[in-house]
Structure 1
């Protein structure tokens, strides 16, 4: 127990150095799962060892503590399990067709290995290989979109620079690629990958999604991207069960008692609530659009799920559900 406390204090000191704005007491509480008094004792213990720590007060009137860069560099090391997780993330990104993101993360992994002391690197590398082998990472079979790395890189640079882009794009409705002036907001990754933005030329359109594999060319422009005030891509993504955007509705699903425990382990939506019923069943509620994608998912539960609302989803799911039964 004493060693675990020492490890926690060292971790806190490293994170106080990594956080440029410093850490608040609340952040320490949340990070280590402790109460306010324990967080204060941990902070005070670190400050006694590192008196050069800087105390600041932000605009929110909360105090923050930061250890100057370079203070603990020689104490920091990267354990094998963290490197293995990083390498696993690279493999998953490659499996999803996100080769540019995979290459970026692989570069970070290489940089970490480069700054590690040679003796430590030689010691942990066999452990990394063993962890990766034991993890048995397998890719889910099925079609995945292929992304053009040059286009993905140009789009990322345009998003960082905050500029509009001219896309050569072909949609399902109009497969012939045409030039479009688009103001990009961000990218949604999933089974399919989409650029979120609005088109201002040739025909002005509101907020829409552009399938990344359908973009055949991209040209960043010397023109600021127009962005709605307060737009939050995370909040935008929450409006849909998957990617398809439509007006959100109140959704309620009842899972039978024999699959309630399995359903409880799923995160169907970031804002979902779960209600245990007296018969052992489970009702999950959230608000989102994307009824077609919901139906596709619910088919996999067979007759173990009942759609309570909305009625449009009930009509889509129940006849097929009873005909197909549960899918593996």
Structure 2
């Protein structure tokens, strides 16, 4: 028996209950990767099983629906898979140098455990312990700079309140301390975490690496965030973190490496072209030449750079024949 459709409907019921503003048909399409007719059938199925489904009035006349929380009864209770997922998520956040977020996730996990009925908790404990011993998070090499939780908290407050801050920092290979008054826009997490901030003096958004920030203080002034700035779009301009004007990128993977490359998301804008010999061409637009070179080194002679020329020259000098691929 196939349970996929039933699980999808149960998940939709949970999402409808969790969304105070309700879900539209477009939301259902996106959430479950289905077409309009399927989204309508899913909504209608929920309405048949849960007559409490209600339409949420909207000023733009878009139809949205939600379920009262009590309508789900015990369906909305936590399962062992939910607890385990929170455990793994916290471990991954610890590994990726996000101790602040790991603490928050473990707090949610504690609340989830506390919400369980005593009998359910006792039954779950042995299985949960066995799963925790059987699953782990792989170590990821990379910088493990100590993150100051107070810095993260202060930056979040300034970002949410649109408060101007004075940043004391030193550049990576310098000992001189500098001061810069900036408008904090967001935080970009990666191997190194970065503050993204608009610098009025330079009239542009700049990155400030967390390990190089000595301290921050609010100036007492507010700022108006540029409504056109999108953190997601800003990050997508680059292959990694380093910002430069996007350029055309074309890589050709050998037939032997094509299957592996097809499983990779190199960039959100990428497209793929299958080649007659079984090879694969990846195309996208982004900046970050140096980080591309670092990544391509792992692929060695399994990839050929067709564009840009500068990256092709760098890769040709460092091309290695590896016994395995990323």
User: Same-fold call, TM > 0.5?
Assistant: yes
Instruction: Spell out, residue by residue over 1:35-76, the C-alpha distance to the aligned partner (whole angstroms, 9 max, x if none).
Output: 444433332232234333321354554311112244335431
Q: Whole-Å Cα distance in 1 between the matches of residues 105 and 241 of structure 2?
A: 24
- TM-score relative to the length of structure 1: 0.90
Q: Secondary structure at the residue paired with 1:325?
A: coil
Aligned to 1:14: 14
User: How big is the shift at 1:236?
Assistant: 0.4
Alignment of 1:117-156 (within 5 A): 117-156=117-156
Aligned to 1:257: 255
Aligned to 2:309: 311
Aligned counterpart for 1:302 among listed residues 291, 300, 303: 300
User: How big is the shift at 1:302?
Assistant: 0.9
114 and 250 in structure 1: CA distance in 2 versus 1, 3 angstrom threshold: same
Alignment of 1:187-226 (within 5 A): 187-200=187-200, 203-204=201-202, 206-226=204-224
User: How big is the shift at 1:109?
Assistant: 1.2
3 and 300 in structure 1: CA distance in 2 versus 1, 3 angstrom threshold: closer
CA contact (8 A) 2:306 2:312 kept: yes
327 and 174 in structure 1: CA distance in 2 versus 1, 3 angstrom threshold: farther
Aligned to 1:269: 267
Instruction: Spell out, residue by residue over 1:105-159, the C-alpha distance to the aligned partner (whole angstroms, 9 max, x if none).
Output: 1111111111222222222233333333222322123432221111112112222
Aligned to 1:99: 99
Bigger Cα displacement from structure 2, 63-72 vs 254-263:
63-72
Q: Whole-Å Cα distance in 2 between the matches of residues 189 and 196 of structure 1?
A: 10
Bigger Cα displacement from structure 2, 29-38 vs 232-241:
29-38
Aligned to 1:325: 321
Bigger Cα displacement from structure 2, 50-59 vs 61-70:
50-59
Q: Whole-Å Cα distance in 2 between the matches of residues 297 and 27 of structure 1?
A: 35
User: How big is the shift at 1:173?
Assistant: 6.2
Q: Which runs of 5+ in 2 are unaligned?
A: none
CA contact (8 A) 1:159 1:186 kept: yes
Aligned to 1:175: 175
274 and 59 in structure 1: CA distance in 2 versus 1, 3 angstrom threshold: farther
Task: Give the superposed CA RMSD.
Answer: 2.3
Bigger Cα displacement from structure 2, 112-121 vs 303-312:
112-121
Aligned counterpart for 1:237 among listed residues 231, 235, 238: 235
Aligned to 2:39: 39
Q: Which runs of 5+ in 1 are unaligned?
A: none
User: How big is the shift at 1:2?
Assistant: 8.1
User: How big is the shift at 1:89?
Assistant: 1.2
- TM-score relative to the length of structure 2: 0.91
Aligned residue-pair number: 324
Instruction: Spell out, residue by residue over 1:13-45, the C-alpha distance to the aligned partner (whole angstroms, 9 max, x if none).
Output: 222111112122233344345544443333223
Aligned counterpart for 2:283 among listed residues 282, 285, 288: 285
Q: Whole-Å Cα distance in 2 between the matches of residues 49 and 70 of structure 1?
A: 14
5 and 300 in structure 1: CA distance in 2 versus 1, 3 angstrom threshold: closer
